[in-house]
Amino acid sequence: MSMRALINGVETDCVSVADRGLQYGDGLFETIAVRDGGLCLWRGHFDRLFDGARRFGIPCPSQGMLLDECQRSIDSCSSGVLKIVLTRGSGGRGYRPPADPHPTRIVSLHPWPDYPLDWADRGVAVILCRTLLGENALLAGHKHLNRLEQVLARSEWRDPQIAEGIMQDGRGRVIGGTMSNLFLVSNGRLYTPRLDTCGVSGTARALVLRLAGEHDLEVTQTDVAQADLVAADGLFLTNALIGVWPVRRLAAKPMCLNHLPGKLIAAVRRAALTPED
Amino acid sequence: MSMRALINGVETDCVSVADRGLQYGDGLFETIAVRDGGLCLWRGHFDRLFDGARRFGIPCPSQGMLLDECQRSIDSCSSGVLKIVLTRGSGGRGYRPPADPHPTRIVSLHPWPDYPLDWADRGVAVILCRTLLGENALLAGHKHLNRLEQVLARSEWRDPQIAEGIMQDGRGRVIGGTMSNLFLVSNGRLYTPRLDTCGVSGTARALVLRLAGEHDLEVTQTDVAQADLVAADGLFLTNALIGVWPVRRLAAKPMCLNHLPGKLIAAVRRAALTPED
């Protein structure tokens, strides 16, 4: 498979074999929805990349330069997925990061994913994954390149009717989907797993937290057990590409969609899939 | 920095930007000592790569082909470090592995590391890292490409007098060095951390376990607390390049070298740094 990308501003399809992104997963990424030729949730994506880069000591490119390269990559494309990868670049002896890193930034454009259109309205079927998430407060929340756990979890099913798999940590706390964040509705209140020791702090998740107040809803970030999922009045998943997917089946259990906060969900979808810039 | 490598048998210095090794750390690696123009501990390295590939569902290249490419890479070089990276190759939508993966194998040769020569005899100074290891039984022991924890731990010091940093898991169990395994001597007995939920099962560590019996020593794989380190009569580190380093200082505490099993250590060094093939 060939894939064109801008690497540090230059169009190419390959990256140095010495890049620490390949050697150690020493980097971060963002996956951005492109709609009507514009970037959705740009601010949230850039802020998360910036935070992650600061946490890991990787110099972050300026927002202006990165935005310019993203727009060059989109070109005349109306709809797609823009991926940014930022690595610590090449070099350094072994794990030791170079004192003066020259980061690699990779911007590439991909087709819009072909998820069935009715998943957003009718809801999706999800399974519970056996693959667990390791806990590390230093990495938690960041969208870093160490994603073997998600790859192994995603390899647990091939049934195209299954949209997502729910992952737990080693202590049995539910964290979220392999590529999405999870929300629970219970007695008219909203809950979402705390992401203090694992999981990715999604841009669409942040949108739910931000917009809930406007709909007189509060979201509690808390520990979630598997039993809480089964007992919930409703579940939904979020990410930057899907916006919101209601859950209509959790493993063998049908889930009701009637208790989901419809107006909030509509507002999140609109905000997640409307270009910002 | 440029780096020549054999990628799937072809000499090049770059890898596809779509490679899952870069995108997700979806792969494994081995770091092999080259001495007198030959590969050391080849069998141990290949077996570990094979086991990891099976665990992660990555087709493993045949031993014969890989050995051939390693020998081509060594060429007429007498001493160095040969690195093998095996990734799941390109493709697949998101985390989902392709049904029919075409793995990428990367073989590259590097200079022998310039560690001070007296570290092997006089011992090394080590620190205790603040960066913790996440636990995941599915990944434990394998030398996979998700190495951000080690990168962050190794970035905790720049003092060239410090040879290594010791890492613990989130429960306070000592696991090993950022790039080495750890052994403790206590009342004439040998102990090494269990690697059931994190850490890398080193080829030189396996050598210690195998050769101990010939020296009437037993090694117990057990949970090790920081207090056990401080109370130990002696400590040493192993990996495929260093062979064995005695520890002469643990953070601020001087460690005695007198109680180390000298004959076993000499035998491990010899076996670790003599070509097998």
Answer whether A147 sits within 8 Å of B5, measured CB to CB.
Answer: no
Contacts with A16 from chain B: Cβ below 8 Å: 1-3, 13-15
A222/A197 Cα distance (integer angstroms):
12
Rounded to whole angstroms, the Cα distance separating B146 from A147 reads: 7
The angle, 0 to 180 degrees and rounded to 10, between the axes of the packed helices B42-56 and B63-74 is 130
Q: Write out chain B residues lying below 8 Å of A199, CB-based.
A: none
Does B163 have pLDDT greater than 60?
yes
Q: Is the pLDDT of residue B276 over 90?
A: no
Token code pair at residue B27: 């792969």
pLDDT at position A1 over 60: no
Q: How does pLDDT run across A235-251, given as a tens digit for each residue?
A: 999 999 999 999 999 99
> Distance from B235 to chain A by nearest Cα, in Å?
22
Per residue in A131-142, pLDDT (tens digit) is 999 999 999 999
Please tell me the distance from the alpha carbon of residue A193 to that of residue A225, in angstroms, as a whole number.
9
Give chain A positions within 8 Å (CB) of B88. 151
* Residues paired with B167 in a beta bridge: B176
- Separation of alpha carbons B48 and B54, rounded Å: 10
Q: Is the pLDDT of residue B1 over 70?
A: no
* Interface residue B158 vs chain A (CB under 8 A): yes
CA distance A143 to chain B (A): 11
Percent of chain A past pLDDT 70, that is, above it, reads 98
Question: What is residue A107's predicted lDDT score, i.e. its pLDDT?
Answer: 97
Nearest chain B residue (CA) to A147: B24
Between CA A266 and CA A232 the distance in angstroms is 21
Q: Which of A58, A142, A147 is nearest to A105 (CA)?
A: A58
Q: At B54, is the pLDDT very low, low, confident or very high (cuts 50, 70, 90)?
A: very high
User: CA nearest B241: which of B202, B198, B199, B190?
Assistant: B202
Q: Which residue of A has its CA nearest to B105?
A: A17
CB contact (8 A) between residue A20 and residue B95? no
A23, B29: Cβ pair inside 8 Å? Answer: yes
- Give pLDDT, residue B4: 83
Q: What is the mean pLDDT of residues A14-25?
A: 97
- Chain B hits for A1, CB-CB cut-off 8 Å, are 16, 18, 90-91
Q: Rounded distance, CA B275 to CA B82, Å? A: 13
pLDDT(A45) > 80: yes
B212, B178, B227, B219: which is closest to B198 by C-alpha? B178
What is the mean predicted confidence (pLDDT) over A231-235?
A: 98
Do B2 and A21 count as a contact with CB atoms less than 8 A apart? no
Q: What is the pLDDT of residue A186?
A: 97
Give me the residue label for tokens 């929805």.
Answer: A33
Among A23, A143, A155, the strongest candidate for a mutation testing the B interface, having the largest count of B CBs within 10 A, is: A23
Residue from the list A21, A56, A93 with its beta carbon closest to the beta carbon of B22: A21
A52-78, pLDDT tens digit by residue? Answer: 999 999 999 999 999 999 999 998 899
Which residues, numbered 192 to 231 in chain B, qualify as contacts with chain A under a Cβ-Cβ cut-off of 8 Å?
A: 197-198
Whether A17 sits inside 8 A of B14 (CB atoms) is: yes
Quick one: pLDDT at residue A277?
A: 58
Cβ-nearest to A146 among B25, B57, B85:
B25
Closest chain B C-alpha to A258 CA, distance in angstroms: 31
Question: So what's the pLDDT on residue B91?
Answer: 85
> Could you tell me which residues are beta bridge partners of residue B80?
B34
Contact with chain A for residue B29, Cβ under 8 A: yes
Contact B23 A145 (CB under 8 A): yes
3-state secondary structure of A185: strand
pLDDT in tens, A143-168: 999 999 999 999 999 999 999 999 99
Mutation for testing the B interface, residue in A6, A19, A22, A180 having most B CBs under 10 Å: A22
- The pLDDT assigned to A195 comes to 98
CA separation for the pair A114, A121 (Å, rounded): 15
User: What pLDDT band is residue A276 in, cutting at 50, 70 and 90?
Assistant: confident
| The two structure tokens encoding residue B152 | 């962050």
Does ipTM exceed 0.90? yes
pLDDT per position as a tens digit, A104-129: 999 999 999 989 989 999 999 999 99
Residue A218 has pLDDT above 90, yes or no: yes
Confidence band, pLDDT 50/70/90 cuts, at residue B277: low
Helix (H, G, I), strand (E, B) or coil at A12: strand
In chain B, which among 51-90 make CB contacts under 8 A with chain A?
A: 56-57, 85, 87-88, 90
**From the list B91, B150, B170, which residue is nearest A1 (CB)?**
B91
Place of tokens 């600061």: A54
Tell me the β-bridge partners of B254. Answer: B249
A152 contacts on B by Cβ (under 8 Å)? 56, 138
For B31, the closest chain A residue by CA position comes to A94
Q: How far is B182 from chain A (nearest CA, A)?
A: 18
Going through B169-272 in order, the beta strands assigned E by DSSP cover 174-177, 181-186, 189-193, 219-222, 234-239, 243-250, 253-254
Note the pLDDT of residue B88: 98
Window A:95-134, CB contacts with B under 8 Å: 95-97, 99, 106, 108, 113, 131-134
Task: Report all structural domains of chain B as residue ranges with CATH numbers, in order of start.
Answer: 5-110 (3.30.470.10), 119-272 (3.20.10.10)
State how far residue A164 is from chain B, nearest Cα, in angstroms: 11
| For residues B148-155, average pLDDT | 98
Strands A27-35 and A38-39, by their bridges, are: antiparallel
Interface of A with B in 256-275 (CB under 8 A): none
Alpha-carbon distances of A189 from A204, A233, B161, rounded to whole Å:
19, 10, 56
